[in-house]
């Protein structure tokens, strides 16, 4: 074999066995690409249970849902890319089990694939709403491209759309629904949208944004039941007895990491698959990346699991280099994500645990929706979010990485360049 020697360890490893990647989405496709970019010339098998070749999910709640982004734009690579790079792509194929001792994965159809090294990019799955009536037609979740197609079909002018959960899915779908002319009610269990991610100060900006666009936002509510005739949903009944009529209900109440395979195989799982800084799991020949990985982060000195696009884009490069035996492959990027809702575009860089900050500093005017918010603890910037302000993520990232104490007045002053703080 030319290229990097993958140097297998453990029983059953073999130089002629391929590297197997389970999960053919953004993370899996980027891992296959990174293996080839690193010069690895051995076999690469990318297995995914979806029938679509790897695609990106962010457009599914934004441009694609609105009909503005055409379908061919969502894919990670063109169809011929896989053959051109000698990647064996097995779509419509679920992996049912992993045998770490035998270095084998078993497919749902009973086939088997041996591996030298295994990378798990199995992502996450939406949490289901655990109330009576939730299995009726018209109750919609959003993870896959056909989910987005179903929601798009429901977003007709005048349609009554009830969204359960004011997280990223809920708010982006609410914005697309309003832009499509639908009547929208959002039902959220907590007192504000995105509360656990953004905290009270900045969450309020998103509440105001959606109210200003005519969304009926209801906070602190408990969904008791979805009403209907047993076949098709007709509304949402709350614990206080109120019923909100609905032509369709979109549920976005969070995800669970798809770590069942790993857990059944005896790998260490705790809020996702636990990995070290090289994205190696508790089995030395198995790695994990993307939504499913709860990875040790050297800067934060703890394990973190990030459910965002940039993490699924970048972690696989580190995992690929690490499993090829490159000792300097360490994942220490600072989390980054973005969202677009109506005419608000934002980027967030940093990491803050819920209640993990003691102060929020605004640079610019939150009411005008053109500002940067900084979350601080002990005078150090933990994260920053730019809203309708652009080209500032690099200096914000640098502030977060440096861990230096900054002057809050200077931080709030748009005349002070961020790079000089
Ligand atoms: C609608 C939507 C919009 C989003 N918008 C944004 C955004 O604007 N910004 C942002 O930062 N993030 C966004 N995200 C989050 C981002 O898309 C995810 O973080 C990213 O998709 C994670 O990629 P992944 O490759 O780790 O996992 P996934 O995308 O979840 O892919 C995992 C794949 O593995 C497959 N799989 C799982 N188990 C098996 C098995 N046993 N056998 C075979 N295959 C298996 C799954 O079918 C799936 O195809 C959005 C997510 C959604 C759903
Ligand atoms: N722009 C982005 O970064 C983006 C966009 C879309 C999706 N995503 C990702 O997709 C995944 C799913 O998003 P999501 O919005 O479902 O999850 P989320 O965790 O962002 O938000 C879930 C929301 O639902 C609420 N909730 C939970 N149970 C509830 C209940 N029974 N009734 C009412 N509200 C309830 C929570 O309080 C929370 O506000 C996440 O990983 C998210 O990061 C990211």
**Range 144-154 burial, b when 16+ CB lie within 10 A, else e:** bbebbebbbeb
Q: What's residue 15's pLDDT?
A: 59
Cα 270 to averaged position of ligand 1 atoms, centre (Å): 19
Cβ of residue 223 lying under 6 Å from some atom of ligand 2? yes
CA–CA dist 50, 72 (Å, integer): 16
Structure confidence by residue, pLDDT tens digits, 122-149: 999 999 999 999 999 999 999 999 999 9
Q: What's residue 6's pLDDT?
A: 39
Cα 165 to averaged position of ligand 2 atoms, centre (Å): 6
Residue having the nearest C-alpha atom to atom 23 of ligand 1:
312
Residue having the nearest C-alpha atom to atom 53 of ligand 1:
143
CA–CA dist 38, 40 (Å, integer): 6
Cα 193 to averaged position of ligand 2 atoms, centre (Å): 9
Structure confidence by residue, pLDDT tens digits, 232-288: 999 999 999 999 999 999 999 999 999 999 999 999 999 999 999 999 999 999 999
Structure confidence by residue, pLDDT tens digits, 49-96: 999 999 999 999 999 999 999 999 999 999 999 999 999 999 999 999
Q: What's residue 228's pLDDT?
A: 98
Index of the ligand 1 atom closest to the CA of residue 289: 26
Q: Return the closest-CA partner of residue 42 out of 21, 72, 66.
A: 21
Q: What's residue 8's pLDDT?
A: 35
Q: What's residue 250's pLDDT?
A: 99
| Rounded (10°) angle between helices 195-212 and 168-179 | 10
Cβ of residue 315 lying under 6 Å from some atom of ligand 1? no
More confident residue, 355 or 146: 146
Residue having the nearest C-alpha atom to atom 25 of ligand 2:
165
Residue 1 in this model has a pLDDT that exceeds 90: no
pLDDT exceeding 90 applies to what percent of the chain? 95
Q: What's residue 14's pLDDT?
A: 52
Cβ of residue 61 lying under 6 Å from some atom of ligand 2? yes
Structure confidence by residue, pLDDT tens digits, 204-232: 999 999 999 999 999 999 999 999 999 99
């Amino acid at each position: 074999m030319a290229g990097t020697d993958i140097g297998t360890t453990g029983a059953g490893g073999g130089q002629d066995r391929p590297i197997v990647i389970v999960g053919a989405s953004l993370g899996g496709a980027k891992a296959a690409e990174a293996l080839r970019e690193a010069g690895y010339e051995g076999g690469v098998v990318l297995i995914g249970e979806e029938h679509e070749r790897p695609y990106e999910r962010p457009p599914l709640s934004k441009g694609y849902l609105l009909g503005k982004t055409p379908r061919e734009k969502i894919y990670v690579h063109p169809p011929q890319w896989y053959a051109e790079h000698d990647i064996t792509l097995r779509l419509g194929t679920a992996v049912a089990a992993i045998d770490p001792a035998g270095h084998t994965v078993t497919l749902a159809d009973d086939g088997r694939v041996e591996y030298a090294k295994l990378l798990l990019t199995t992502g996450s799955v939406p949490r289901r709403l655990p109330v009576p009536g939730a299995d009726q037609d018209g109750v919609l979740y959003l993870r896959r491209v056909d989910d987005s197609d179903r929601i798009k079909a429901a977003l007709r002018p005048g349609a009554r759309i009830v969204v359960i959960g004011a997280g990223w899915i809920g708010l982006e779908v609410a914005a697309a629904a309003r832009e499509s002319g639908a009547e929208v009610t959002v039902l959220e269990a907590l007192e504000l949208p995105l509360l656990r991610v953004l905290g009270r100060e900045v969450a309020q900006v998103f509440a105001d944004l959606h109210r200003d666009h005519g969304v009926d936002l209801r906070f602190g509510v408990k969904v008791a039941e979805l009403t209907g005739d047993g076949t098709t949903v007709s509304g949402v009944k709350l614990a206080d007895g109120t019923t909100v009529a609905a032509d369709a209900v979109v549920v976005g109440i969070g995800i669970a990491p798809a770590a069942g395979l790993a857990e059944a195989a005896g790998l260490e799982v705790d809020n996702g698959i636990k990995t070290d800084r090289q994205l190696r799991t508790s089995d030395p020949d198995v790695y994990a990346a993307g939504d499913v990985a709860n990875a040790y982060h050297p800067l934060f000195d703890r394990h973190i699991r990030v459910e965002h696009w940039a993490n699924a884009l970048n972690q696989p490069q580190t995992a690929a280099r690490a499993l090829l035996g490159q000792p300097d492959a360490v994942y220490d990027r600072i989390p980054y994500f973005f969202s677009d809702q109506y005419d608000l575009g934002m980027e967030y860089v940093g990491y803050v645990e819920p209640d993990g900050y003691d102060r929020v500093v605004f640079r610019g005017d939150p009411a005008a929706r053109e500002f940067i918010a900084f979350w601080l603890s002990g005078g150090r910037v933990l994260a920053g979010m730019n809203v309708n302000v652009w080209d500032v993520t690099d200096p914000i990232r640098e502030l977060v990485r440096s861990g230096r104490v900054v002057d809050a007045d200077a931080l709030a002053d748009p005349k002070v360049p961020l790079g000089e703080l």
